[in-house]
Structure 1
Amino acid sequence: MTASLEQAAGAQADSVIELAQELVRRPSRAGIDDYAPALGVLETWLTGRALPHRRLHNGSGHLVGLLVEIAGGRPGPWWCLDACVDTAPFGDESAWSFSPTCGDIVDGWLLGRGSADSKLAAALFCHIAADLLPHAASLPGGLAVLLDVDEHTGGFGGARAYLSDPEATRPAGVMIGYPGIEDVVVGGRGLWRATLSVHAPSGHSGSSRSVIGAISRAAHLVRLLDSSELPGVDAKLDGFPLPPKLSVTSFHGGQGFSVTPDLCELNVDVRTTLSFDAHSAETLVRKAVAELDAELPAPRPTDITPVASWPPFRLGEGDQPAAALLHAARETGLKVRAKTAGPSNIGNLLAGHGIPATAGFGLPYEGLHGIDERTHLAELPRVHAVYHRAVLDLLHAH
């Protein structure tokens, strides 16, 4: 079956690439560009092939994605393919050796922002849906293809709209089309984020009275946080291969030269694991804050404002949909490994809803989120066949 799927995918490669090019040529930077032009390209393509689809909106009525739904003719679980259509910003465009929206093919590479993350995957998943549509009546369950935006903001608006849509069937699992051909990502660290507001009396910087300002207190807090002891990897405890990590990612306070400020704010990002969860992260940060307020007292204690929390997740190689994707990839001759990623992603959001997900398998790439983003196309038929076979195996497993 895999060989025939790969042959069919090879025949469709030009069509997949053409759709991906059209998407790359519509800038859809998260929080910057209007998403409608890129999603409109997909709507036109889906409508031309009579694929059932509808728009998804968030609570404020903003367009945050498209949902394709291929309902089978028999009862069974639904599965979902997910690819984001919004992208990271361009950064310094003068540093690029080509236009971020050129969408050109050069020496076998598709060039431009979103070529890797994840407009090519969006084009590929649309073609898989089109292939399944004529056979839908014989299939159990169904396939959803989520083409979401508001992903690179970290808000995950498209995925949230899908999960909260009362008309959508809750998926038994999701395969997210992040790129990379060497790994099937089966897990990711979670996160706990907070803003810490450090207070102090304000005063004139030239005053004869000694004042420990908010910036100095905050700098001491950074040292306390940086020296905090986090546990290492304990495979026997939870099987999670990455340790937790704490980073101070923002430091703001003061203005000019003549005033010692009364407020300095820090952003703290803690990457969590199965054994060092959000509660553990908050406890660690609160301990450092309490130590600061005891060592360098101020009229007002340090405020801790939690901002976000995502659970870590990890699937075993025998858990679906990881098992199906790993098996399909290995059947094509790829030597893929199951990997747990350091960064968080939509898989963490899904884990919070009890939905298992893979968060990466795709084509080789360069420059993701950086300059000169591009994706190598030689393995497109094989990656296409892998996802197609994984979907069929999942649908027919029940």
Structure 2
Amino acid sequence: ACVVDEESGACSSIGVRYLLDRKLISGSGAIYVYPGTNVTIGHRGLLRLEIDVKGENVHTGSIEWNTKMKGANASTTLARILIALEDYAWSNDKDPSFPDLTLTVTPGTIVNGGGFVSVVPSNASAMVDIRLMPSTSVDDILKKIEDIMENIINERNEFYRKISLNSTSSTRLSASITIKNQLPAATIDSNHPLVLSCVNAVKKILNIIPTTNGCGPANEGYMLIGSGIPTICGFGPIGGNVHGVDEWISIPSMAQTVDIYVDIVSNYCQLFG
């Protein structure tokens, strides 16, 4: 129940946020259960945007569209925006807590456009998924996306004005951005006692030295860390293909993980002297 909204962006008012805001949970530490032996000291942030493009519909067989006196294709305009976002050289933000990760911008994870095969699309929309590093400026990201959108919208409006040979042609295309999800990157120190307790437990029970890196996907760890609860943002049994149709977990590793959790709690909380 605590992570009920994790799949939808981990930033609603239910689950962990509800409990924290009402001071119904507290603690000296937390472990976010996630497959793998990496002692995850943090997660990247998340920014999800919806880009909406408005055009002008007209029958594709009409003389108005043939001469471009009417109509503006929202879908192809959106496609140009998405490709421009993909081609842009985004800042290569890095952080020592995330040695193999950087800022990642993925345009067009969901795309919708048009309504009928013989009508020029007047509406098109797409989701853009952005994974943020601790140093990433959301304002800078939004400003660059807005600049790219504005340039392409102006370019396409000028295209329709010129091709229709109508210098008084009104603006046919527009675009807007809506923020759907936003949450910050979050980390704890790799030398925090909770992290060291987990590392030592893994060494003792699995006889391996685990890595202590931040992870790429986001979760509710930032809520707990921001509320003063040190959190390992991922550690658990062996598993794989997360979110896939054949997501799996190793049954034998579950018993080992329980032993590791017991060792972490007993040492971190000093339960036995």
Coarse TM-score class (shorter-chain normalised): 0.7 to 0.9
Q: With structure 1 as the length reference, what TM-score do the two structures score?
A: 0.57
Deviation string, structure 1 residues 252-278 (Cα, Å, up to 9, x no partner): 111222211221111111111012242
- Separation of aligned partners in 2, 1:374 and 1:266: 31
Unaligned residue ranges in structure 2 (runs of 5+): 158-170
* Post-superposition CA distance 1:198-240 (Å, at most 9, x none): 11222221232224311121111111111111122545xx654
Report Cα offsets for 1:155-198 as digits up to 9, x if no partner.
563212221233x24334321111213x1111211111111111
TM-score (norm 2): 0.80
Q: Is 1:208–2:71 an aligned residue pair?
A: no
SS at match of 1:338: coil
Deviation by residue 1:273-325 (Cα, 9 ceiling, x = unmatched): 01224223222322221222232234453111111101112222112432321
Asked whether the equivalents of residues 311 and 352 of structure 1 are also in contact (C-alpha less than 8 Å), the reply is no
1:56-84 residue CA offsets vs partner (Å, 9 max, x unmatched) = xxxxxxxxx3xxxxxxxxxxxxxxxxxxx
Answering whether residue 141 of structure 2 is matched by residue 281 of structure 1, we say yes
Structure 1 residues 387 and 269, CA gap change in structure 2 (3 angstroms): same
**Alpha-carbon distance between aligned partners in 1 of 2:239 and 2:258, rounded to the nearest angstrom:** 16
The 5 A counterparts of 1:1-398 are 65=1, 148-155=3-10, 157-166=14-23, 168-181=24-37, 183-206=38-61, 207-210=65-68, 211-235=71-95, 240-241=98-99, 242-248=101-107, 249-297=109-157, 298-299=171-172, 301-332=174-205, 333-353=207-227, 355-396=229-270
1:376 CA displacement: 1.8
Give the whole-Å Cα distance in 1 for the aligned partners of 2:120 and 2:106: 26
Q: 1:283 is paired with a residue of what secondary structure?
A: helix
- Residues 94 and 103 in structure 2, CA contact (< 8 A), matched pair in contact too: no
CA distance in 2, matches of 1:285, 1:351: 30
CA distance in 2, matches of 1:193, 1:348: 17
Task: Name the aligned partner's letter for residue 165 of structure 1.
Answer: R
CA RMSD of aligned residues (A): 2.4
Contact 2:98 2:213 in 1 (8 A): no
Task: Tell me how far 1:353 sits from its aligned partner.
Answer: 4.2
Query: Following TM superposition, by how much is the alpha carbon of 1:148 offset from its aligned partner in structure 2, in angstroms?
Result: 4.7
Asked if structure 1 preserves the Cα contact closer than 8 Å seen for 2:93 and 2:135, the reply is no
Where 2:15 maps in the other structure, the secondary structure is: helix
SS at match of 1:341: coil
Higher strand share: 1
Amino acid corresponding to residue 192 of structure 1 in structure 2:
L
Structure ranking higher on relative contact order (CA contacts 8 Å, 6+ apart)? 2
Instruction: Determine the structure 2 residue equivalent to 1:24.
Output: none
CA contact (8 A) 1:311 1:351 kept: no
- Render the CA deviation track for 1:107-143: whole Å, top value 9, x for unaligned: xxxxxxxxxxxxxxxxxxxxxxxxxxxxxxxxxxxxx
C-alpha separation in 2, matches of 1:194 and 1:201: 23
CA contact (8 A) 2:93 2:133 kept: no
Secondary structure (helix, strand or coil) at the match of 2:79 reads helix
- Once residues 287 and 355 of structure 1 are traced to their aligned partners in structure 2, the CA distance between those partners, rounded to angstroms, is 39
Q: Would the aligned equivalents of 1:278 and 1:309 in 2 still touch at CA under 8 Å?
A: no
Contact 2:28 2:230 in 1 (8 A): yes
Native 8 Å contact 1:312 1:351 kept in 2: no
Contact conserved, 1:320 with 1:356, CA < 8 A, in 2?
no
- Quote the sequence identity (%): 24
Per the alignment, do residues 321 and 282 of structure 1 end up closer, same or farther by CA in structure 2, a change over 3 Å counting? farther
Which amino acid in the other structure matches residue 106 of structure 2?
A: S
